[in-house]
């Protein structure tokens, strides 16, 4: 067992850190990153940054050179993700669906033509992707998807509605789960389409989240003609592919998020040193000290668990069962951390910006945003079902057998 990097890997980390420092704006502060309230700004910031990564030879690290990737090791990809998570998660995060789901899905399941068409545009930052899984009646029960894609000549005609679709109104493409066999039920008959968001009949309608931002959408599909070559994999394979895709998102996501949360603990410590309560810096209060330390410890558990998971993934080629718990290890601790941060601010905890706010109201935003963590990408309850049934082998409940 070895927790250290090889000299070459360490050299790569240093090289990338140096590049990153120069690539980011001069006054970039990892502890005070912008929260973009305007989705177009989010997209543009992501694109500009991804283009820089691409031009410097850091896009698609572990992917094949034939499709514009770098052909480097998975470990180098992890190192890069850690640095991005630590330093500029706000620029990286909007691309999480694009790079964590669309890219691996197309790379591993797409046709040659799909790979050639989509991968280079993902890597150079031209295309931002969104993910159309959830529907009003298919939230946790994704298998209940009812959006239909009916074959008509060289097209599918898509009708239906998706919901809670992040960045749909500024995305170029959508990974869309549809029902290609209208007679089918549950998992069978689901297929995956790669849909151009500019097609006629697609109408995203932004929804305001509890943070006040409009990051996600309802998306209406009204007789949308989607060319048949947009199908990825076979008809009816959508469910299996969706599960595979989610596993990829998970593995890299845990590493990035672990690194970003390490930065958050440092930020929290700085805040606790600045904020005062009863004339003393909050950081002197033994109860808050316990909370800060606990947050740090939980993030170390996420970090080393994530690395251990990745390590066995690299060695065996498949993510082990330990991967299934990563989501619980970041979502719930992040809620605890942001709640503690608001408490530490005392009465200022009510203020979400402006001159008398603490750290620009970043924590108020983080606190509210964290409530989505236990819902997005599979609720905590769904995660525990998966662990209980697929890892521990417990029986399904009667209603789902």
Partner 1 sequence: MDITLSKTQEDIIKEARRFLKKECPSEYVQAMFLDDIGFTDELWDKMKRMDWMALRIPEAYGGMGMEQLDMSLLLEEMGRAVVPGPFFSTIILAAEVILAAGTESQKKQYLADIADGQIKATLALHEPEGGIDPTYIRMRAEPDGDDFILSGTKLYVPDAHLVDIIVVPVLTRASNNPADDLSLFIMDNHTSGISVSPLPTMDGTRKLSAITFDRVRLPKDAILGEPNQGYSPLVRALQRAQVGLVAESVGGAQQAMEIATEYAKVRIQYDQPIGSFQAVKHMCAQMYTDAESARSMLYWASWAQDYGDKTEAAMAASAAKSYCTEAFTTVASKGIQVLGGTGFTMDNEMHLYLKRAKANQAALGTPTYHRERVMRLLTEDGAVT
| Calpha distance 32→363 (Å, rounded) | 10
From the CB of 270, what's the least distance to partner 1, in Å? Answer: 10
Which residue from 311, 301, 381, 390 is spatially nearest to 140, judged by alpha carbons?
A: 381
Label the pairing between strands 216-227 and 202-207: antiparallel
Q: Is 300 in the site for partner 1 (CB under 8 A)?
A: yes
Nearer to partner 1, 176 or 268 (CB): 268
Sequence length of the chain is: 401
| Calpha distance 112→104 (Å, rounded) | 14
Q: Is 139 in the site for partner 1 (CB under 8 A)?
A: no
Q: Is 394 in the site for partner 1 (CB under 8 A)?
A: yes
Among the residue ranges 119-127, 146-154, 315-323, 340-348, the one whose residues contact partner 1 (CB under 8 A): 315-323
* Structural contact between residues 185 and 155, judged by C-beta atoms closer than 8 angstroms: no
| Calpha distance 53→207 (Å, rounded) | 31
From the CB of 245, what's the least distance to partner 1, in Å? Answer: 22
Nearer to partner 1, 177 or 341 (CB): 341
Of these residues, 213, 215, 218, 249, which one is catalytic?
249
Q: Is 45 in the site for partner 1 (CB under 8 A)?
A: no
Among the residue ranges 15-23, 59-67, 142-150, 322-330, the one whose residues contact partner 1 (CB under 8 A): 322-330
Give Cα separations from 281 to 5, 143, 269, 294, 344 (angstroms): 38, 51, 11, 19, 10
249 is a catalytic site residue: yes
Among the residue ranges 4-12, 36-44, 151-159, 219-227, the one whose residues contact partner 1 (CB under 8 A): 4-12
From the CB of 294, what's the least distance to partner 1, in Å? Answer: 6
3-state secondary structure of 163: strand
DSSP for 227-241, written as a single string: EGGGEES-TT-HHHH
3-state secondary structure of 61: coil
Q: Is 61 in the site for partner 1 (CB under 8 A)?
A: no
Among residues 304, 350, 353, 376, the one that binds partner 1 under rule CB under 8 A:
304
From the CB of 305, what's the least distance to partner 1, in Å? Answer: 4
Helix (H) or strand (E) holding 86: helix 74-92
From the CB of 377, what's the least distance to partner 1, in Å? Answer: 16
| Calpha distance 381→254 (Å, rounded) | 18
Compute the Cα dihedral for 375, 256, 176, 198 and give only its sign.
Answer: positive
Q: Is 124 in the site for partner 1 (CB under 8 A)?
A: no
The token duo for 362 is 């970043």
Q: Is 365 in the site for partner 1 (CB under 8 A)?
A: no
The token duo for 250 is 């998970």
Q: C-alpha angle with apex 159: 157 to 162, nearest 5 degrees? A: 130
From the CB of 313, what's the least distance to partner 1, in Å? Answer: 10
* Structural contact between residues 100 and 92, judged by C-beta atoms closer than 8 angstroms: no
Task: Report the site for partner 1 in 276-295 (rule: CB under 8 A).
Answer: 283, 286, 289-290, 292-294
Q: Is 222 in the site for partner 1 (CB under 8 A)?
A: no
Q: Is 65 in the site for partner 1 (CB under 8 A)?
A: no
Among residues 150, 199, 307, 342, the one that binds partner 1 under rule CB under 8 A:
307
Nearer to partner 1, 152 or 304 (CB): 304
* Structural contact between residues 216 and 165, judged by C-beta atoms closer than 8 angstroms: yes
| Calpha distance 288→96 (Å, rounded) | 33
Chain-centroid distance, C-alpha 73: 21
Q: Is 315 in the site for partner 1 (CB under 8 A)?
A: yes
Q: Is 389 in the site for partner 1 (CB under 8 A)?
A: yes
From the CB of 329, what's the least distance to partner 1, in Å? Answer: 6
Among the residue ranges 97-105, 162-170, 224-232, 388-396, the one whose residues contact partner 1 (CB under 8 A): 388-396
Residue 221 β-bridge partners: 160, 202
Nearer to partner 1, 286 or 355 (CB): 286
The site for partner 1 (CB under 8 A) is made up of: 1-5, 9, 75, 265, 269, 283, 286, 289-290, 292-294, 296-298, 300-302, 304-305, 307-308, 311-312, 315, 321-322, 325, 328-329, 381, 383-385, 387-389, 391-398
The residues carrying an active-site annotation are 249
């Amino acid at each position: 067992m070895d927790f250290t990097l090889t000299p070459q890997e360490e050299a790569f980390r240093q090289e990338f850190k140096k590049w990153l420092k120069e690539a980011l704006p001069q006054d970039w502060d990892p502890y005070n990153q912008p929260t973009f309230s305007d989705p177009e700004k989010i997209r543009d910031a992501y694109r500009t940054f991804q283009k820089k990564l691409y031009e410097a030879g850091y896009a698609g690290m572990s992917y094949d050179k034939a499709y514009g990737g770098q052909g480097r090791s998975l470990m180098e990809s992890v190192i890069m993700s850690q640095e991005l998570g630590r330093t500029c998660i706000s620029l990286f995060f909007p691309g999480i669906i694009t790079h964590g789901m669309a890219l691996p899905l197309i790379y591993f399941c797409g046709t040659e033509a799909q790979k050639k068409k989509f991968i280079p545009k993902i890597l150079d930052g031209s295309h931002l992707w969104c993910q159309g899984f959830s529907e009003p009646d298919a939230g946790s029960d994704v298998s209940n998807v009812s959006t239909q894609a009916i074959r008509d000549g060289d097209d599918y005609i898509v009708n239906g509605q998706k919901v809670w679709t992040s960045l749909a109104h500024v995305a170029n493409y959508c990974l869309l789960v549809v029902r290609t066999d209208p007679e089918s039920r549950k998992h069978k008959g689901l297929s995956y389409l790669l849909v151009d968001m500019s097609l006629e009949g697609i109408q995203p309608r932004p929804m305001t989240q509890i943070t006040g931002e409009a990051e996600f959408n309802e998306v209406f599909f009204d007789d949308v003609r989607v060319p048949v070559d947009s199908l990825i994999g076979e008809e009816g394979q959508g469910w299996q592919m969706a599960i595979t895709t989610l596993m990829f998102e998970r593995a890299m996501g845990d590493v990035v998020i672990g690194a970003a949360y390490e930065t958050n603990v440092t930020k929290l410590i700085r805040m606790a040193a600045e904020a005062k309560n009863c004339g003393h810096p909050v950081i002197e209060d033994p109860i808050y000290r316990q909370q800060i330390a606990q947050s740090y410890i939980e993030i170390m558990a996420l970090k080393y668990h994530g690395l251990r998971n990745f390590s066995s993934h690299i060695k065996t080629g498949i993510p082990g069962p330990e991967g299934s718990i990563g989501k619980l290890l970041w979502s719930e601790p992040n809620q605890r951390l942001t709640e503690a941060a608001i408490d530490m601010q005392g009465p200022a905890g009510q203020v979400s910006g402006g001159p008398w706010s603490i750290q620009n109201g970043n924590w108020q935003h983080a606190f509210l945003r964290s409530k989505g963590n236990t819902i997005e990408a599979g609720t905590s309850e769904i995660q525990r079902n998966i662990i209980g049934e697929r890892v521990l082998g417990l029986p399904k409940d009667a209603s789902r057998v």
